[in-house]
A and B are shown apart, each in its own frame.
Chain A
Amino acid sequence: MTTVQSPQTAETTAANRQVVSSEILPEELHPSSRIDATDVTCWFGKRKVLERCTLSMEPGEVTALIGPSGCGKSTFLRSLNRMHELVPVAAIAGTIELDGVDIYSEEMSPTEVRSRIGMVFQKPNPFPAMSIADNVLAGLSLSGMSNEDPKALVEQCLRRAGLWAEVSDRLNEGGMSLSGGQQQRLCIARALAVHPDVLLMDEPCSALDPISTRVIEQTIRELCEEITIVIVTHNMQQAQRVSDKCAFFLVESIGDPGRIVEAGPTTQVFENPSDPRTYDYVTGQFG
């Protein structure tokens, strides 16, 4: 699964890492990036599950992906950081550009793509064999980066994920000793520690109580000033609360691939949708 890098790519990667590891304070962070997906089509084996999806995710914005179950939101999200190809039978067409560079081209390795485009999963999954602090730092050691001041990084990331106050006095306990909501925020902190340019979140709050959900939504709003965020959610209120832009996915009839029916500013999609199916879905009158 490790792709052989061309020497030139290896150099740029190394340079990138150096920049990343020397940055600690939020104000020094690089400005966030944009992703442009053009005509993305995804297959599992022979089955086409997503067809010609075009969407741009702008810097500093939160983009929400909504739509009924099974319409390919997760698949689309996973294609954005090359997680889609981890399924052995998966295939993809179209282009996805991160700041103008195609992430599926020879210029980028999957590991580089994934350390620049972080991901938070639906089910919180801290690494059980690591302490809370080690969980936050896991991304650094896993991708071969180093940091001069790991303690400060741990604190900074936990603060940004809204978890610092609750765990500051037990950083050495195992990651599984936290509640579900805390685990999810730990996973967000873990994703932040590698300083991604983009953060993908697949239903990050679906397993959480309202209070944890609110904390995470706040976190998302704060993060989006530095990081481009794409979030899948089934919760219409959540989409309205956190997102600037919204894309509605739909499978028109059974067996069809999923398509983007409508995409635009969140207020427009929710208050004045141009497509009647979008209107039905966001007002809860869907099938």
Chain B
Amino acid sequence: MLERLFAEHRLQLEVDVHMSLLDERPVDETPVPEPQDPELIEEQVPFRPRALVRSERIEILLAAAAGVTGSGVMCLLFDWTHVLTFAIWALLIFLVSIYLLARDSQSPIVATDRLITTLVWTSGGIAVAVLAWMLGYVVVKGIAGLNYEYLTSDMSKVGPLDDGGGVFHALVGTLEQMLIASVLSIPIAILTAVYLHEIRGRLAGIVRFVIDAMSGLPSIVAGLFIYTVWVLQGRGPSGLAAGLALAILMIPTVTRTAEEMLKTIDDGLRESALALGAPQWRSVMQVVLPTARSGLITASILGVARAVGETAPVLLTAFGSSSINWSPFNGPQADLPLYIYQLLRQPNPAQIARAWSGALVLVLLVLILFVLARVIGERGARVRGGSR
């Protein structure tokens, strides 16, 4: 429909142009070009233009080769054996060679540009490499012990030197505590962000200050706080207490990130909503928050990520446990970081192997939660756009 309309417009314009040409010139005899047979026109092959010409690509390869060989030779000469030493020298020689080659073949300005581009790339590469290395380490150490039995049993019947046992009780604890902490903190945090950036109430300055102070709060202090006002008041340790402590840690992260996300929303949208006769709360609920949806999900994910690896507050509030406790409201409960922490301190290699498997489970759990949050966020957006 749209294309047809455009086509018609274009046709109209072309006709107009022809008409005006005809007005000015007497009818001339330029032969109208024969329309070409579409079969004869060659199929076009799409290509992406390259940023670097061949000589530049060769220079980069040369520099890389210089880095590897130079550093290799140095390692042999000086008897360095560590991989990192090799990598650092290779990188340094690579950067210097890049600069020198570009300076000689082109100019110092080009060389500086090339050097900085390369530095940016390598910094990104290093960040990814460190992360991959760490993850790889956890996977290598933890994969051996990860099996069905490990995932579905707890540690209640495992003696100090036994094999067997598993992570189930800690997994359940982590899931329940994170659920409690999220349900408590995310709505509060998002409403606080709305207060800070949408309502802009008179207390906004104070609230922002308190939130900033909270984000600097050491996690053990949050644990101690709940320990004093909840656990010691006759309520005892529980998953709920841990959830409370973790919620305290999540609120500032989620609030500040959510506020940043609300800031990215164009004021024009708010004004348009109000100009349609909306009270402010409807403008927030129906326009601002849905538009910020994916940003708010990111904020929540960051909050969960902040809390899911905490050990100290859980130690003080849920105490940890070696057997499964389904109820988060009653009695001590384990969770993954605490499980890892407690097992790693044991002398027995079987315990330490279990701790590594626990770390792998924690990493995988976080990964799954993140992917789930993204998928739900995007599916929701699509359903919203596609309904009616």
Known pairs A121-B275, A130-B290, A169-B1; list 16 more (Cβ under 8 Å). Answer: A1-B280, A83-B275, A86-B274, A114-B275, A114-B278, A121-B268, A129-B287, A129-B290, A131-B385, A134-B387, A142-B277, A144-B282, A168-B1, A171-B388, A172-B385, A190-B276
Question: Does any Cβ of A come within 8 Å of B283's Cβ?
Answer: yes
Question: Does any Cβ of A come within 8 Å of B384's Cβ?
Answer: yes
Residues facing A in B256-304 (CB within 8 A) are: 266, 268-269, 271-283, 286-287, 290-291, 293
Are B276 and A138 neighbours in the complex by a CB distance under 8 Å? yes
Residue of B nearest to A173 (CB): B385
Question: Does any Cβ of A come within 8 Å of B381's Cβ?
Answer: yes
Question: Does any Cβ of B come within 8 Å of A48's Cβ?
Answer: no
B352 to chain A, nearest CB (A): 49
Can you list 9 pairs linking A and B with CB atoms under 8 Å apart? A114-B275, A116-B277, A129-B291, A130-B290, A131-B385, A134-B387, A142-B277, A167-B2, A190-B276
Question: Does any Cβ of B come within 8 Å of A254's Cβ?
Answer: no
Question: Does any Cβ of B come within 8 Å of A25's Cβ?
Answer: no
Question: Does any Cβ of A come within 8 Å of B9's Cβ?
Answer: yes
Contact pattern, A 71-109, Cβ under 8 Å of B = 1, otherwise 0 = 000000000010100101000000000000000000000
Residue of B nearest to A179 (CB): B2
A173 to chain B, nearest CB (A): 7
Question: Does any Cβ of B come within 8 Å of A15's Cβ?
Answer: no
A128 to B388 Cα, complex, angstroms: 16
A113 to chain B, nearest CB (A): 8
What are the residues of chain B within 8 A of A67 when measuring CB–CB?
Answer: none
Given A143-B278, A166-B1, A194-B277; A172-B387 close (CB under 8 Å): yes
Are B1 and A142 neighbours in the complex by a CB distance under 8 Å? no
What are the residues of chain B within 8 A of A1 when measuring CB–CB?
Answer: 274, 279-280
What are the residues of chain B within 8 A of A190 when measuring CB–CB?
Answer: 272, 276
A190 to B272 Cα, complex, angstroms: 10
Residues facing A in B179-201 (CB within 8 A) are: 200
A60 to B134 Cα, complex, angstroms: 72
What are the residues of chain B within 8 A of A134 when measuring CB–CB?
Answer: 387-388
Are B283 and A127 neighbours in the complex by a CB distance under 8 Å? no
Question: Does any Cβ of A come within 8 Å of B386's Cβ?
Answer: yes
Q: Please report A residues at the B interface, Cβ cutoff 8 Å.
A: 1-2, 81, 83, 86, 88, 111-112, 114-116, 118-119, 121, 123, 125, 127-131, 133-134, 138-139, 141-144, 150, 165-169, 171-174, 187, 190-191, 194, 211
Are A111 and B279 neighbours in the complex by a CB distance under 8 Å? yes
B288 to chain A, nearest CB (A): 9
A112 to B274 Cα, complex, angstroms: 11
What are the residues of chain A within 8 A of B279 when measuring CB–CB?
Answer: 1-2, 111, 143
Chain A CB within 10 Å — which of B200, B283, B384 has the most?
A: B384
Residue of A nearest to B388 (CB): A133
Question: Does any Cβ of A come within 8 Å of B5's Cβ?
Answer: yes
A90 to B274 Cα, complex, angstroms: 17
What are the residues of chain B within 8 A of A116 when measuring CB–CB?
Answer: 277
Are A127 and B287 neighbours in the complex by a CB distance under 8 Å? yes
Are A86 and B385 neighbours in the complex by a CB distance under 8 Å? no
Residue of A nearest to B276 (CB): A139
What are the residues of chain B within 8 A of A86 when measuring CB–CB?
Answer: 271, 274
B5 to chain A, nearest CB (A): 6
Given A138-B286, A142-B286; A129-B275 close (CB under 8 Å): no
A187 to B275 Cα, complex, angstroms: 11
Residues facing A in B225-279 (CB within 8 A) are: 266, 268-269, 271-279
What are the residues of chain A within 8 A of B293 when measuring CB–CB?
Answer: 129
User: Which of these, B276, B287, B388, contacts A118 with CB under 8 Å?
Assistant: B276
A243 to B107 Cα, complex, angstroms: 61
A143 to B276 Cα, complex, angstroms: 7
Are B291 and A125 neighbours in the complex by a CB distance under 8 Å? no
What are the residues of chain A within 8 A of B200 when measuring CB–CB?
Answer: 88
Are B276 and A2 neighbours in the complex by a CB distance under 8 Å? no
A155 to B169 Cα, complex, angstroms: 58
User: Which of these, A81, A141, A174, contacts B385 with CB under 8 Å?
Assistant: A174
User: Which of these, A127, A130, A143, A166, contacts B2 with CB under 8 Å?
Assistant: A166
Residue of A nearest to B268 (CB): A125
Residue of B nearest to A119 (CB): B275
- Minimum-distance CB pairs A-B, first 8: A115-B277, A142-B278, A129-B290, A143-B277, A139-B276, A119-B275, A125-B268, A114-B277
Are B272 and A194 neighbours in the complex by a CB distance under 8 Å? no
A101 to chain B, nearest CB (A): 16
